[in-house]
Chains A and B, each alone.
Chain A
Amino acid sequence: DAEITQSPRHKITETGRQVTLACHQTWNHNNMFWYRQDLGHGLRLIHYSYGVQDTNKGEVSDGYSVSRSNTEDLPLTLESAASSQTSVYFCASSRTSGPTGELFFGEGSRLTVL
Chain B
Amino acid sequence: GQQVMQIPQYQHVQEGEDFTTYCNSSTTLSNIQWYKQRPGGHPVFLIQLVKSGEVKKQKRLTFQFGEAKKNSSLHITATQTTDVGTYFCATDSGGSNYKLTFGKGTLLTVNP
Contact = CB atoms under 8 A, between A and B. Distances in A.
A51 to B, nearest CB: 11
Contacts of B45: 102-104
B25 interface: no
Chain B interface, DSSP helix/strand/loop, else mixed:
loop
A105 B42 contact: yes
B33 A102 contact: yes
A33 B99 contact: yes
Interface residues of B, number: 25
B102 A98 contact: no
Given A100-B31, A105-B42, A48 B102 contact: no
Nearest to B45: A102
Contacts of A58: 99
Contact of A43 (B43, B92, B98): B43
Contacts of B98: 31, 48, 50, 94, 96, 100-101
Nearest to B40: A108
Interface in B77-112: 88, 90, 92, 96-105
Interface string B34-51: 010000011111001010
A45 B42 contact: no
Nearest to A107: B42
B104 A40 contact: yes
B43 A102 contact: no
B30 interface: yes
A35 B37 CA distance: 14
A79 to B, nearest CB: 22
Interface in A90-114: 90, 94, 96, 98-108
Interface in A29-85: 31, 33, 35, 40-45, 48, 50, 56, 58-59
7 contacts: A42-B102, A42-B105, A48-B99, A94-B98, A100-B100, A103-B35, A105-B42
Interface of A: 31, 33, 35, 40-45, 48, 50, 56, 58-59, 90, 94, 96, 98-108
